[in-house]
């Protein structure tokens, strides 16, 4: 149960949210045609006769896309239906040359599933997935190229989308963004959608309603065009306030589709909500019911990669990492792999610290991805090894790291070149300490007469004289011996 409550004039309100996410299937060609799906091509250069709805054309299901759908269902812990049916969803729009969208209605390819979301306080919650179906994307109308005309680009027409519908189990803006990020992470791990919200390959429709705690579900409004995690959270907050004020002022929420305006930070009415019967869905007579071949589900199940939650638990159990560190590392598959490669044979916790605090910090500062980092996983592991075997101190390691980042060189080479090896030779350290003691008779006096705090001063002086290279443990030991007489 969420304890997210909004205080209104008439008491507390609870928020109910359900999401419909459209995710473009990662595939070279479209759902029912061989035309390319590549993003950013010349308008209308990737349109087959099927996508342009030429008379007499016949759609042919793309086997790879269907498999991507099955994989997604398995990754969402959902029931995959061996038989599903493509249906026509009829409506008119300039960017929909067929006059209908081929979608799935009564018999989707994927049934009920569940997504575990991670909340900011470290807890988790299960959000039900109602269904996932495959459908065609529409083309794109372009209104801003000509003062009085609109253009249509059909490149996107017929690209495969997965529509993933959640149960109304989401109860706060935080849960909504956690749901979207976890869903996106799973799709990316599976390789079934690139999750790129800026390019529109993942888009969310957010259904929001409010109710008094424990009351039946209120009437929902559906907010479209919410294409970033931040916008999802802002749109929900706006919508909740609008609905509460409306009801408390004696009005009623109407079921409608609203549009999120990211500039004005508000939602506004777009059209009253159509019901399913307005689309006059019926099974597409051009397509047979889709029946998956025997063994396909089992084969794809076996080929599934390790998913984010499994990886997170393995990192915590096998490497002893904290929930926080594990969550940061598994956020991207390539990041998790980088960590595992770097940690091979070394202290995992120490490696995790260096990946998260130093390397990711530096990459974020540069606005760059981890993948093309100048420091390879093997070299970062090498740095950890040098700290572990006391060749360098943690402090010198930061300097070595900076040089590695700058030059791409291996840590051993830098340590060698710059003479940064930690001094563990007790004789050499003792000589430095003798100098420090000789140079500071006053402080020695004060220390010996009870000013214990001055011990740090001597450590500092010794480290400085050794250019940071003296082994701190040995320094402490010898200083104690020499001062405490
Ligand atoms: P439609 O296809 O007409 O949009 P669906 O039955 O597919 O309707 O539901 C759309 C979404 O609305 C689902 O994610 C569902 O969880 C959510 N939903 C249903 N009822 C409510 C409600 N009262 N408040 C918030 N969300 C809701
Ligand atoms: Mg809908």
What number is the average pLDDT over the span 68-75? 98
What number is the average pLDDT over the span 399-415? 95
Q: With a 6 A CB cut-off, is 171 part of the ligand 1 pocket?
A: no
Give yes or no for residue 274 having a pLDDT over 70.
Answer: no
Ligand that comes closest to the CA of residue 256: 1
Q: Cα 334–335–337 angle (5° rounding)?
A: 65
pLDDT (tens digit per residue) in 28-68: 999 999 999 998 899 999 999 999 999 999 999 999 999 99
Q: How far apart are CA 275 and CA 188, in angstroms?
A: 32
Give yes or no for residue 435 having a pLDDT over 60.
Answer: yes
pLDDT (tens digit per residue) in 370-396: 988 999 999 999 999 999 988 898 889
Q: With a 6 A CB cut-off, is 220 part of the ligand 1 pocket?
A: yes
Task: Look at residue 268 and give its three-state secondary structure.
Answer: strand
Stronger pLDDT, 122 or 189, i.e. the higher one: 189
Q: With a 6 A CB cut-off, is 207 part of the ligand 1 pocket?
A: yes
- 160 strand-pairing partners: 136
337 alpha carbon to ligand 2 midpoint, in Å? 37
Q: Predicted confidence band at 276 (pLDDT cuts at 50, 70, 90)?
A: low
265 torsion bin: left (phi>0), alpha (psi -120 to 50), beta (else): left
Q: Predicted confidence band at 420 (pLDDT cuts at 50, 70, 90)?
A: confident
What number is the average pLDDT over the span 5-18? 96
Q: With a 6 A CB cut-off, is 20 part of the ligand 1 pocket?
A: yes
pLDDT (tens digit per residue) in 252-273: 999 999 999 999 999 999 877 6
What number is the average pLDDT over the span 156-163? 97
- Radius of gyration of the CA atoms of the chain, in A: 30
Residue nearest to atom 7 of ligand 1 (CA): 165
Q: Can you spell out the DSSP letters for 254-267? A: --EEEEEETTTTEE
> Could you identify the atom of ligand 1 that is nearest to the CA of residue 209?
24
Q: Which of 16, 166, 168 to mutate to test the pocket of ligand 1 (most atoms within 8 A of CB)?
A: 168
Q: Can you spell out the DSSP letters for 385-430? A: HHHHTTSS-HHHHHHHHHHHHHH---HHHHHHHHT-PPB--HHHHH
Residue nearest to atom 13 of ligand 1 (CA): 18
| Mean pLDDT rounded to a whole number for the chain | 94
Q: Which domains does the chain have, with CATH numbers?
A: 6-299 (no CATH), 306-407 (no CATH), 426-483 (1.10.10.410)
- Predicted pLDDT at 171: 97
Ligand that comes closest to the CA of residue 279: 1
- Predicted pLDDT at 273: 66
- Predicted pLDDT at 182: 97
- Predicted pLDDT at 159: 97
Q: Say if residues 222 and 207 touch (Cβ distance below 8 Å).
A: yes
- Predicted pLDDT at 70: 98
Q: How far apart are CA 247 and CA 15, in angstroms?
A: 14
What number is the average pLDDT over the span 148-175? 97
Q: With a 6 A CB cut-off, is 18 part of the ligand 1 pocket?
A: yes
- Predicted pLDDT at 220: 96
> Could you identify the atom of ligand 1 that is nearest to the CA of residue 165?
14
């Amino acid at each position: 149960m969420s304890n997210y409550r909004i205080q209104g004039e008439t008491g507390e309100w609870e928020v109910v949210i359900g999401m419909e996410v459209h995710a473009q299937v990662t595939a070279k060609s479209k759902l029912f045609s061989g035309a390319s799906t590549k993003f950013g091509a010349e308008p209308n250069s990737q349109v087959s006769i099927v996508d342009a709805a030429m008379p007499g054309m016949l759609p042919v299901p793309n086997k790879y896309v269907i498999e991507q759908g099955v994989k997604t269902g398995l990754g969402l812990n959902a029931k995959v239906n061996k038989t599903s049916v493509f249906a026509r969803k009829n409506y008119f729009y300039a960017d929909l040359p067929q006059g209908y969208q081929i979608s799935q209605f009564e018999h989707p390819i994927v049934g009920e599933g569940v997504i575990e979301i991670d909340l900011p306080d470290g807890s988790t919650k299960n959000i039900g997935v109602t269904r996932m179906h495959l459908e065609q994307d529409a083309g794109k109308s372009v209104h801003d190229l000509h003062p009085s005309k609109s253009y249509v680009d059909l490149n996107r027409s017929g690209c495969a989308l997965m529509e993933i519908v959640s149960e109304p189990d989401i109860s706060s803006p935080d849960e909504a963004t956690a749901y979207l990020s976890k869903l996106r992470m799973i799709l990316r791990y599976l390789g079934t959608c690139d999750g790129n919200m800026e390019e529109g390959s993942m888009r969310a429709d957010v259904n929001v309603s409010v109710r008094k705690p424990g009351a039946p579900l209120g009437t929902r409004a559906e907010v479209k065009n919410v294409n970033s995690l931040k916008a999802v959270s802002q749109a929900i907050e706006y919508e909740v306030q609008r609905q509460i004020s409306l009801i408390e002022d004696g009005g009623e929420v109407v079921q409608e589709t609203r549009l999120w305006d990211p500039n004005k930070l508000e939602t506004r009415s777009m059209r009253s909500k159509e019901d399913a019967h307005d689309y006059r869905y019926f099974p597409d007579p051009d397509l047979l019911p889709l029946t998956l071949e025997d063994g396909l589900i089992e084969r794809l199940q076996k080929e599934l990669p390790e998913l984010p939650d499994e990886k997170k638990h393995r990192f915590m159990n096998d490497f002893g990492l904290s929930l926080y560190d594990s969550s940061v590392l598994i956020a991207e598959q390539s990041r998790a792999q980088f960590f595992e490669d770097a940690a091979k044979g070394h202290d995992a916790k120490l490696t995790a610290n260096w990946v998260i605090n130093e390397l990711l910090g530096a990459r974020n500062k540069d606005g760059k991805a981890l993948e093309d980092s100048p420091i390879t996983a093997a070299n970062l592991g090498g740095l950890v090894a040098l700290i572990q075997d006391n060749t360098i101190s943690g402090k010198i390691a930061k300097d070595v790291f900076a040089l590695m980042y700058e030059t791409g060189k291996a840590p051993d080479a830098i340590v060698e070149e710059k003479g940064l090896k930690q001094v563990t030779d007790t004789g050499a350290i003792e000589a430095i300490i003798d100098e420090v003691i000789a140079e500071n008779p006053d402080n020695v006096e004060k220390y010996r007469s009870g000013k214990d705090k001055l011990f740090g001063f001597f450590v500092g002086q010794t480290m400085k004289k050794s250019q940071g290279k003296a082994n701190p443990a040995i320094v402490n030991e010898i200083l104690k011996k020499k001062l405490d007489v």
